[in-house]
């Protein structure tokens, strides 16, 4: 593959928008991403994306994909970047396939991945009752007792989805009160089949071939809950391990300035992988456009 003007790592809202803006500038592009849509695909109901009073995450992602298909560039889907290295004035990226891609600039838009519970049994039952995306996997648990770990917006969103299909949903929140939006918290409280456990911490999950239950300490007292599904919604960590010579903050987010520039000339970053304070679909998209325009300006000078 010939050297590209821009390698875009990630195809969530930031990466996709970067690609659209870069394509409109006539730049040669390659997108490398594990999936199309990123975290946007995990959302069931989106009510704050300008132009749509309501749209589901999967529907918005399909519109992103349709937009991408209007332009011609290389997309490597289902592939991850393992390492990014500097090569004189340019860069090269080693992929999980063993392939190497060279580019004059890079836009890191790799987003974040879910945090884990880090308790006994989690690894054994991941994919066998433990999941990290309610939008993707909630329908599998229709008619089954479930639990959601977390108290923020993603946890509330998961609980709302499950409340409509599960006879019983435990919302297990480590804080002393829910931290998500008040509107979503009030919706949750309207469901009689949702039990909110605040000041609660899961200490173990168990089962045989599949998940059968969990142990949780609530206000200092242990309870054993029989559940067939657990959705872990306790936050995210940035996908930034593959690049180690750009400045990052204490949690691994890539530091950028207002022009989407990292500490390494020629490498830009956008979206949830960066240190910008708010993580929203529309913000990620806007940051993606900024990164593409910044990369274009860089290429016209260097």
Query: pLDDT per residue over 73-106, tens digit each?
Result: 899 999 999 999 998 889 999 999 999 999 999 9
With H, G, I as helix, E, B as strand and everything else as coil, classify residue 250.
coil
Same domain flag for 106 and 160: no
Count the helices and strands in the chain (H runs, E runs).
7, 17
Q: Closest Cα partner for 116 from 144, 141, 150, 147?
A: 150
Are the C-beta atoms of 195 and 166 separated by less than 8 Å?
Answer: no
Weakest-pLDDT range from 38-52, 84-98, 287-301: 38-52
Side-chain-side CA neighbours of residue 225 (13 Å): 30
- Check residue 56 and give its pLDDT: 85
With H, G, I as helix, E, B as strand and everything else as coil, classify residue 122.
helix
Are the C-beta atoms of 88 and 75 separated by less than 8 Å?
Answer: no
Q: Is 286 left (phi over 0), alpha (psi -120 to 50) or beta?
A: alpha
Q: Closest Cα partner for 111 from 293, 281, 290, 256?
A: 281
Query: pLDDT per residue over 249-292, tens digit each?
Result: 999 999 999 999 999 999 999 999 999 988 888 999 999 999 99
Same domain flag for 106 and 241: yes
Same domain flag for 250 and 193: no
- In this structure, what CATH number is given to the domain that contains residue 161? 3.50.50.60
Same domain flag for 202 and 288: no
- pLDDT > 80? residue 1: no
Instruction: Quote the tokens at residue 61.
Output: 């992602």
Share of the chain above pLDDT 70, in %: 99
- Check residue 87 and give its pLDDT: 84
CA distances from 64 to 40, 41, 43, 96, 178 (A): 10, 11, 14, 25, 32
- pLDDT > 70? residue 159: yes
Domain boundary among 232, 255, 280: 232
- Check residue 76 and give its pLDDT: 95
Share of the chain above pLDDT 90, in %: 80
> Helix crossing, 13-24 with 57-68: angle to 10°?
20
CA distances from 33 to 37, 65, 95, 290, 295 (A): 9, 13, 10, 20, 19
CA end-to-end span of the chain, whole Å?
A: 22
At 38, give phi and psi (nearest 5°): 60, -140
Q: Closest Cα partner for 224 from 147, 165, 132, 164?
A: 147
Same domain flag for 103 and 250: yes
Span 11-16, mean pLDDT? 95
- Residue 144 to residue 150: CA distance in whole angstroms: 19
Q: Residue 44: which pLDDT band, with cuts at 50, 70 and 90?
A: low
DSSP assignment letter at 66: H
Same domain flag for 98 and 132: no
- Check residue 49 and give its pLDDT: 86
Q: Residue 136: which pLDDT band, with cuts at 50, 70 and 90?
A: confident
Range of the domain at 95: 4-113+236-301
- Residue 181 to residue 263: CA distance in whole angstroms: 34
- pLDDT > 80? residue 243: yes
Same domain flag for 225 and 244: no
Span 205-219, mean pLDDT? 96
CA distances from 93 to 12, 222, 287 (A): 19, 48, 22
Place of tokens 């059968």: 212
Domain boundary among 179, 214, 232: 232
With H, G, I as helix, E, B as strand and everything else as coil, classify residue 34.
coil
């Amino acid at each position: 593959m010939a050297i590209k003007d821009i390698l875009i790592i990630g195809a969530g809202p930031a990466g996709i928008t970067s690609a659209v803006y870069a394509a409109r500038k006539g730049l040669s592009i390659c997108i490398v991403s594990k999936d199309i849509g990123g975290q946007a695909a995990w959302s069931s109901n989106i009510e704050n994306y300008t132009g749509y009073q309501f749209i589901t995450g999967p529907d918005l992602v399909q519109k992103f994909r349709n937009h991408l298909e209007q332009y011609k560039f290389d997309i490597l889907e289902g592939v991850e970047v393992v390492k990014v290295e500097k090569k004189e004035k340019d860069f090269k990226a080693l992929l999980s396939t063993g392939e190497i891609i060279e580019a004059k600039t890079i836009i890191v838009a790799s987003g974040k991945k879910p945090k884990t519970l880090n308790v006994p049994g989690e690894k054994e039952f991941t994919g066998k009752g433990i999941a990290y995306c309610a939008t993707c996997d909630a329908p599998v648990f229709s008619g089954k007792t479930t639990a959601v770990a977390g108290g923020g917006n993603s946890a509330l969103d998961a609980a709302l989805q499950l409340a409509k299909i599960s006879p019983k949903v435990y919302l297990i929140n480590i804080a002393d009160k829910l931290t998500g939006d008040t509107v979503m918290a009030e919706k949750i409280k309207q469901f009689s089949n949702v039990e909110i456990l605040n000041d609660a911490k899961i200490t173990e999950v168990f089962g045989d071939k599949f998940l059968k239950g969990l142990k949780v300490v609530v206000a200092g007292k242990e309870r054993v809950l029989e559940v067939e599904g657990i959705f872990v919604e306790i936050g995210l960590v940035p996908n930034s391990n593959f690049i180690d010579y750009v400045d990052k903050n204490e949690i691994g987010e890539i530091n950028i300035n207002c022009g989407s520039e990292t500490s390494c000339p020629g490498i830009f970053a956008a979206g949830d992988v960066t240190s910008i304070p708010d993580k929203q679909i529309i913000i990620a998209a806007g940051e993606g456009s900024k990164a593409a325009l910044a990369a274009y300006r860089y290429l016209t000078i260097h």
